[in-house]
Structure 1
Amino acid sequence: MFESLAEKVKSHQVNPQSPMISVFQLEIAEFGDLLAWMKGQDTFPQYYLNFRDSVRKIAAIGKVRSFSDEISAQHFVASQDLTLVGGMTFAKQGHFWLPRLMIEQNAQGVRISVYMDNQADGAQEKREALNALKTLQHFTALEPLKQQVKLVSQKANQAQWCSWVERALIAIQQNKLTKVVLANESQFESAQPINAKDFLAESEKQNTGCYHFLYAENADCTFVGSTPERLFKRQGPQVKTEALAGTALMSDDEQQNQQQAAWLLQDRKNDEENLFVVKDICDNLQNVVTQVNVGKVELKQLRRVQHLRRQIEATLKPEFSDAACLQAIHPTAAVSGLPQQKAIAFLQNSENFDRTWYAGTLGVMSKQQGEFCVTIRCAFIEQNKIRIFAGAGIVEGSVPLLEWQEIERKASGLLTLLSSGE
């Protein structure tokens, strides 16, 4: 099936009229499970994104070109009309790249693309492209998770984390902050290695209504998660983003869920927390858009928690695109706080760990469209260790112990996946 692509690569000749990047593509009706394919790969980096509100999925391996900031990535996309993958850490450090091989599934079928850099060593590029094509046959079956894990350490125990919340409440009372989003990191260990692809496949089954992502720079550590939150989606100049903030319990008790939903929709503290995020996004977008429309409050219900959400739509000014959206919206008040710079400074002086990709953003960037999610409900998997992150928005009226229970509940959404095969 893939021989035609290989023949095109083998016969490829670079001449003065050749583009900077050569693209070889094949469209087929179906391919197979992308996570099962990724489980069979040993080429890095590896990248996977299952989009929240569509059947679109992207899997990619290898790297042809890379960019350390959103501006240079945007310039490349505009000049080459190619799709980049990647994103930004919480601290806004950019990591974008053109993969060697990318597989995209959508409602119309599957597109396989292999890329070669015509400004690099031609023989080496040809070898790497052909090796990438050989991987299309390599699938490894996904398996149920049957692992018991034990808590090894937490960056903050309950008492310490509650003391962070108390400090935040004092800063809010003194009008230094309006909101701050505190997080914790918990490390667990298993007797056996945890396979990140099996883990994410199980999360896809159980954590519906989410983006599902995987990013591995090398074989030693994989960042993985299932997030309910969109940073933004752009189609041409039209941008959709959202304020996802305010939380209540979800359980197996449907009556209790309805009671919690009714309470959440009426609770002033949670509604104000959501409106803080709305205002922050709208204020930050004002210089790059011509108009902004905010939708009515609604519920986003997940497996363990439910949130308030207000959807926001805007029209970009002609000179702006994905880089401007990333700069304006990330990180939102839903993962940092308000005022943003003061909230981030508070976090740097309070949290005793580096968030890196937690509360960052991952997505895809192209000329016509871009889409990025907020990387929460996530973990780093390193052999038999898993580090899980969870956060909670602290505003006036927050109760430290209740906020601790909230982050423990959020973390459990991933932790419980490990024993799902039993």
Structure 2
Amino acid sequence: MGLTLPIELFEQAKRTMISQNENVLLSWVTELEEGSAKHIFDQASGAFKGERFFWQNKERTLRLSGLGAMDQLKVERGQDRFLALHTRKEQVLRQTVTNSEEMACGAVYFGGFSFDDEHDTSPEWEKFGEGFFYLPLFLVTEKDDRCYLSVNIWLSADDVYSKVEAVMAQWEKIAAAEVTADPEVACILEERLAEDTWLRAATDVVTLLQEAPDMQKVVLARRMRLGFDGFLSSSRMIAHMEEQQGNSYCFVLENGASTFFGATPERLLLADEEKLESACVAGSIARGDTENADAILGSTLLNDAKNLAEHHFVVEMIKATMERFCEDVEVSANPMLLKNRDIQHLYMTVSGRRGEAGMLDVLRALHPTPALGGWPQREAMTVIRLKEEMDRGFYGAPIGWIDSLDRGEFAVAIRSALAIDTNAILYAGCGIVADSVPAEELAETAIKFQPMLRVLGGKVHERT
């Protein structure tokens, strides 16, 4: 027997609609006896391809799969993007009738922001705007070894219960659908874009930093392009990321024929009712091909003055920001190693008691951290706009989810790529400081392309 949305909740929504004289979002949450967010994502390929998202946290204790766009927000140039999402979320909350306050369930918005809302937008990023979020029709939430279904339906004065029945019939059809494996595709083109231009920019930035002692760091990013002999599959991307990129967030955001995806190690902000937490991830070195070689590389990173200085900028900035919004701020002990398949980083955490802090206010203040922008922040961003001849789009920017009660989690969208039909654009960056050697920094960005190259089947240069 299929799931039935309670008619009592529908009638409550209709009464609320009459009293408020406006449409109502009916958000019903129920626990599923069995289910998998990834499996539902795959089952919905036919019905909702181009209108799905997937999220898995670093600890793999939370997975979200969203299908369909019951509400969509695209932030246009000139709008305050964080305020736009806050305003939409609060408006929808005021119009919502729900049976649950379960975290990461119900009226959850998922999406991301652009890295820099003052940069000219390139054609491949135009449909994402300065921010792109949507509230799904169906949301499957896996957490704490339990699985929940959220159904979000806008109701107007003329709607009757048969509308709800039609939506639930659509869910049953998806839940019963067979998963058809998408065909494998081969990478037939690999193009590293504008390396000479990037080297010249890095050289200019090194000179600038040597002549401007008040500036400590500027992050420069670059791109590469891959071409394939068929259309890229979100389901295969997720499967490859889960298999290959442990200790990382896994995200996929579909927008028509475009898909932004990645496996990032870096939390920007986690918010529950009582606590806010951020992670300081900066400084990097490759992994070794043996346990001993890996340990030597890790020890080198932990004792490298340049990388320790880069990490220190991040820790100090995040700590100062959290102290603006939180009480009892705590910073974890000395830097430790965060190891991914191809890269290892220096890692610490900063947390505090939340109080009245709004999640999006804190997110605005944190972005971009020195790990993705540089330090001081404003001056570094000015240099990036002058010297970086590309649009980062959502690369390096916040991506994640926020629920109706202002709880959620955002990661920094590094180790990421934008897929469009049969092509993909990969992004990577590194921190330039006064004693940087541009050729060495270029080699570091090549290491940072590796995770998405693996995911997409491009040519991976194995570590030695």
Gaps of 5+ in 2: 76-83, 102-106, 118-129, 459-464
Match of 2:71 in 1: 65
Mapped contact 1:214–1:225 kept (Cα < 8 A): yes
Deviation at 1:384, TM superposition (A): 1.6
Q: 1:175 to 1:127 in 2, by over 3 A?
A: farther
Change (3 A) 1:4 1:279: same
Contact kept? 2:399, 2:412, Cα under 8 Å: yes
2:54 is aligned, of 27, 35, 48, to: 48
TM-score by length of 1: 0.90
Further displaced range: 60-69 or 266-275: 60-69
Which runs of 5 or more residues in structure 1 are unaligned? Answer: none
Pick aligned residue for 2:110 from 74, 85, 88: 85
- The residue matched to 2:4 in structure 1 has which SS? helix
Match of 1:21 among 21, 25, 37: 25
Structure 1 contact 44–61 (Cα < 8 Å) conserved: no
Asked whether 1:151 is paired with 2:157, we answer no
Change (3 A) 1:139 1:392: farther
- Give CA deviations for 1:331-351 in whole Å, capped at 9, x if unaligned: 211111111122112111111
Could you say what secondary structure the match of 1:63 adopts? Answer: strand
State the 1:83 CA deviation.
2.5
Farther off after superposition, 35-44 or 351-360: 35-44
Shift of 1:112: 0.8
Q: Post-superposition shift, 1:352?
A: 1.5
Of the three residues 330, 334, 345, the one matched with 2:382 is 345
Partner in structure 1 of residue 410 of structure 2: 372
Structure 1 residues 264 and 37: CA distance shift in structure 2, 3 A? same
Output the amino acid matched with 1:306. Q
Corresponding position: 1:136 with 2:151: no
- Is residue 285 of structure 2 the alignment partner of residue 248 of structure 1? yes
On the 8 A contact 1:240/1:314 being kept in 2, the answer is yes
DSSP 3-state at the match of 1:17: helix
Equivalent position SS for 2:64: strand
The range that moved more, 396-405 or 35-44, is 35-44
User: Which residue in the other structure is 2:242 paired with?
Assistant: 204
For the pair 1:2 / 2:5, whether they are aligned, the reply is no
Letter in 1 for 2:416: C
Question: Number of residues paired by the alignment?
Answer: 415
Q: 1:9, 1:24 within 8 Å by CA — same for their partners in 2?
A: no
Counterpart mapping for 1:1-400 below 5 A: 1-5=1-5, 8=7, 15-18=14-17, 20-32=24-36, 33-42=39-48, 44-67=50-73, 68=75, 69-76=84-91, 79=94, 80=96, 82-91=107-116, 93-119=130-156, 122=159, 126=164, 129-130=167-168, 132-133=170-171, 134-142=173-181, 145=184, 147-152=186-191, 154=193, 156-157=194-195, 159-173=196-210, 174-175=212-213, 177-218=215-256, 220-296=257-333, 297-318=335-356, 320-366=357-403, 367=405, 369-400=407-438
Q: Measured at CA, do residues 38 and 91 of structure 1 come closer, stay the same or move farther in structure 2, by a change above 3 Å?
A: farther
Q: How large is the RMSD of aligned CA atoms in angstroms?
A: 2.7
Please report how far the alpha carbon of residue 322 of structure 1 lies from its aligned counterpart in structure 2 after TM superposition. Answer: 1.0
Distance 1:10 1:292 in 2: 41
Pick which of 99-108 and 8-17 moved more: 8-17
Q: Give the CA deviation at 1:316.
A: 2.4
Partner Cα separation in structure 1 for residue 266 and residue 372 of structure 2: 10
Alpha-carbon distance change, 11 to 118 in structure 1, aligned in 2, over 3 angstroms = closer
Counterpart CA distance in 1 for 2:286 and 2:144 is 34
Between 1:97-106 and 1:202-211, the stretch displaced more is: 97-106
Identity %: 24
Q: CA deviation at 1:308?
A: 0.3
Question: Structure 1, residues 228-264: CA drift from partner, whole Å, max 9, x if none?
Answer: 1101111213111011000011142221111000010
Residues 192-248 of structure 1, C-alpha deviation per residue, up to 9 Å, x if partnerless?
222122022111101101000000121x11111100110111121311101100001
Matches within 5 A, 1:406-417: 406-417=444-455
Structure 1 residue 54 displacement after superposition = 3.5
Q: Is the 8 A contact 1:58 1:105 kept in 2?
A: yes
Contact 1:49 1:211 in 2 (8 A): yes
